[in-house]
Structure 1
Amino acid sequence: CNRGCRMAGGVYTWEDVQSHCTKTDQWVVINRKVYNVTQWAKRHPGGFRVLYHYAGEDATEPFSAFHPDQKFVQKYMKALQIGELAATEPSQDRNKNAAVMKDFQDLYVKAESQGMFRTRPLFFILHLGHIILLEVLALLMVRYFGTNWIVTLLCAVMLATAQSQAGWLQHDFGHLSVFKKSYWNHVVHKFVIGHIKGASANWWNHRHFQHHAKPNVVLKDPDINMLNLFVLGDSQPVEYGIKKIKNMPYNHQHKYFFLVGPPLLIPIFFHLQIIQTMISRRYWVDLVWFMSFYIRYFYCYVPLYGVIGATALLFFVRFMESHWFVWVTQMNHIPMEIDYEKHQDWLTMQLQSTCNVEQSFFNDWFSGHLNFQIEHHLFPRMPRHNYYLVAPHVEALCKKHGIPYQTKTLWQAFSDIVTSLKSSGDLWLDAYLNK
């Protein structure tokens, strides 16, 4: 080690590991073994930023959460191993609650032994079937009943519903929670997100895994990177206020959120970001799948609406889908704790940044089971139809350790987004005017 921290026999202390936490020098600990992932990060299937977010830390829990076939992955990790923790070092660094981590690991083993990670294929077949059915019925309806505004509106609603539900379905494959073999999850993921939705699997993977690895952590979770349009949580608004940063009138962000967030995220921001990412990073396979969606769509709808009309219809579909997506995905996170890195244990970090919404048949379908956001974040590879099975065990574990486990109504979860934006905006204004 060029920093002089290496001990005899490749044995290290936590202090040694924590000193390797830059983009050009990254060490991680997994099951007490120390790995130098600096060069591997560029080839990591989940994206280089995920590894960087855990540089200098114990990554055992996220490693277990994200990788279904750990023995297979560990074969490739042997070349990266440079040693192990000294026998005198604890299994976790001192910033983390060892008791909580031990109980969570026991729960993980219990969930596996009780078959909670086993998939029911019929669930996903039926889910894909109802998406295809909606797409087909929307097209047939326009062909047989014409392009008047009522039929067009109904068509758009059906297409937006299909797109939203396809979004939840690609999420399942992206998390490798459907097939036992990762390969088939990746293949079907590219088909669903590419051909059915017109997006990029690699773009989604690299963005979404960061969110799961460090949810609501400023500078690490891309889902709370609001490009200075909004300030979130308690720390960021005060920081911006003290520094006199006023890119937007943040004390009114709970109002302009309705004009900027839900309507524009998917049709404008995500769409441009996906294209830019595929081209700049040369995701040519994703680009082919992406183009196949638009070829199919315009082939079906240009003869009925013309180029301009078909384009307008698609934009309107994306507009409605975007509202659906934003409200569902933000209801579990924006009202929760948002702060800089605290190096907490996996369970505590996930629980402080996520909450649940009450279970019902509609809530499950409407949110793609993301109403069980807590369970999804703790067990991202678990098939979503099993979240309700593990939820009581998670709640009991949280109660044992005094960790809040929040469950809200759907309406309360939606309204809390606006309330939290207003609270953060008020914090910014107070700091801006008085400090």
Structure 2
Amino acid sequence: MNRSRRVILATAGSLGDIHPVIAVGMALQTRGLTAVVATSVDYRAKIEAEGLTFREVGPSIARLEADTGLDLAQLTARIARSDRFLFENIMLAYAGKSTRQLIEASRDADIVAGLSFAVGARIAAEVLGKPFVSIALQPTTVFSVFDPPKLPAAPWLAPARGGLQLAINRLTLAIARQTTAAWTRRIDRVRAELGAPPSPGDIFFDALRHADLALGLYSPLLSPRQPGAPATFEVVGYAAYDSDDGGPSVLPEALGAFLESGPEPLVFTLGSAAVNTPGDFYERGLAAARALGRRSILLVGPQGDCAIADGPDALALPYAPYSLLFPRAAAIVHQGGVGTTQQALRAGRPQLVVPHLGDQYDNAARVVRLGAGLTLSRTAFARRGEATLARLLEDAPARTAAARLGDLARQEDGAAAAAARIAGVAGRR
């Protein structure tokens, strides 16, 4: 009997980086392929609970804490202050070992797929002579000069099709490449040790190029395929998954009872990364909800204080599946992680985005551009959260836009679309 085709899916990071890959893996197995998720051991139980094969690649959270001398909250805070710390002290620092692990995990694979910054996946594919699939989870990592990310460090960037603004975007990209060139040189040293040629391009800005297939695993509502994208690139939609422990997503019993006991609440969440450094986000959110006479649900994370919900008008939980909770919210206040943002889009509810780090600023700007919500900085939320929420809740056009976008977003099945295209690459072997 011929064995099924095996696809390695390499990823790293928080649940926002893990969940879409699990969704694609499950869709691949539905098509008769074997999906192998290569990532930190922290996610092994969830991956195997879904019937997927797990391979350990990259450091665990405990390893990162031991090596850096920082706990998870401190690590998150450092990443929030500087993307350079993420790339230089985590991604590049472990690139050599992680790549070697990935090569071993991929020896019996037919295809190697990895997120944009999973540089070891590209190297493993080259060393082993396998087809390579590059996956972007958010528009930020594509960095189109026609639809560039909105970032605090470069507030002058803006969508453009020509003229001065496009020239500014191109110049900014050229300057940014000078910084990331040093990172590419560090990866090239790893490549040389493994007998691979130098990188075919910048590891940051060219991550989707020179691949057999490149996928934007995010909603085209956030950003459709842009001019100048690689010929192999396609935006296929959001890959939804939000089970806590694997298996079907279910509402906690206490949450279901709370939702049934009164009007739609405000939902406050910081995802699975920013939740490690919440500051006074939940206290401010709860106070704003009470001042507006609204019930609230606070998703405070596994290390959070559930006792913060100190009355019958509020409920605090470590986790809840967004796909079941968000559609029952009056509005969703969140950090702007790309997974959280897209679950809120699918729910068809207005959003207030309070970005903390990374691509969250760009995702917030895209929500505002779509007319589905508003955004505030962390400091502004502390001062103006109540007034902004009141404005959002009274904004009929925002509710209408959010509902319309929800109808469109729910039609997407990025996991199935990605699996079909990856299967097509396998079929050509």
Q: Where on the TM-score scale, by shorter chain, does this alignment land: which range?
A: under 0.3
Of the two structures, which has the highest relative contact order with CA contacts closer than 8 Å and spacing of 6 or more?
A: 1
Larger radius of gyration: 1
Structure number having the greater helix percentage: 1
Q: TM-score, normalised by structure 2?
A: 0.26
Q: TM-score, normalised by structure 1?
A: 0.25
Structure number having the greater strand percentage: 2
